[in-house]
Amino acid sequence: MRKFIIRLFIVILVLSGSMGYVFVNHATSASSCTIASLSAQVGNSTLSYSQVGNGRSILLLHGLFASKEQWNTIMCRLSEMGYRAIAPDLPGYGNSNGFTLRDYALENQTTLLNELMEKLGIKSFDLAGSSMGGAIAQLYAQRFPNQVRSLAFIGSPLGIVDWANSVKEAIFQGINPFIPITKEQFALEISLLFFTPPTIPDSVIAEKVNDYITRNRHYQQVWDIINLYDDILCQGVPTQFPTFIIWGKEDKIYDISGANRLQECIAGSQAIQLPKAGHLLLMENADEVASKYVGFLQTARGR
């Protein structure tokens, strides 16, 4: 029964990305967790974010064409372990609205996130990101080092290695697996993101694909911007924070070899290579990831 609940939860979260799906998280296992859905004015725009728990604050950043709901299970686990977890829909994603195309630049994302944290009155926090969110987290830590207690890459990040061969092969065939415009392309995307792909109803796939077709120009523009950051993580000022890296050994988006390179670029970082795990560790391996991440946070508590 628990496996069924987890797989159903994954399906719901997959659908929460670019369609602005409204999701209220209830029990994800035996214990209950109520996540508040909030919003804040950032400039002339509205930034949506989730929040749960009390204690030391952790800011969680999602990946490309995704949303804050992907963090829900991990947020519940963190709150159970005495932390306050905050996950925004990054500017321009999910339910955050009113942002311009220029706001998708990763440097501008960090500026807007900094404004959010100031509005929330949070002066010091742990910072974690998944995929594109990992690159944003690194840039944030470099720009605002006095605010960050620790840095974590939950799953492989953008900006350290090139696309894996599975992604390149799709692109060579004229398919962008992150902007699927057919049912078959959508299935390819899911197979690349998950170690064990969830089953998604045809009606939901059709709605999702239609969104990619209807707003195709927008998705392509954002994709072009993000690809300007394909080698960003080893550049700039070296990160001087306790740093945690956890990477799926079966990741089909960024090859596991990138974990070693990232660890070399960030001196003293702690790296875990997770077996039988793909790209979206924050969803498919949430319980194990949360446990290992909290273990890291406890060792980094002194900062």
Q: How many CA atoms lie within 13 A of 37 on its CB side?
A: 15
Residue type, 243: T
* Residue 2, pLDDT score: 38
CA 60/CA 150 separation, integer angstroms: 12
pLDDT at site 212: 98
Asked whether 252 and 164 are in contact (CB, 8 A), the reply is yes
Burial of 29 (0-12, 13-18, 19+ CB in 10 A): middle
| pLDDT by 10s per residue, the chain, length 303 | 334 334 444 444 444 443 332 233 333 443 569 999 999 999 889 999 999 999 999 999 999 999 999 999 999 999 999 999 999 999 999 999 999 999 999 999 999 999 999 999 999 999 999 999 999 999 999 999 999 999 999 999 999 999 999 999 999 999 999 999 999 999 999 999 999 999 999 999 999 999 999 999 999 999 999 999 999 999 877 778 899 999 999 999 999 999 999 999 998 999 999 999 999 999 999 999 999 999 999 998 754
Quote the pLDDT of residue 10. Answer: 44
**What φ, ψ does residue 101 adopt, rounded to 5°?**
-60, -35
d(CA 125, CA 97): 25
**How much is the pLDDT for 182?**
98
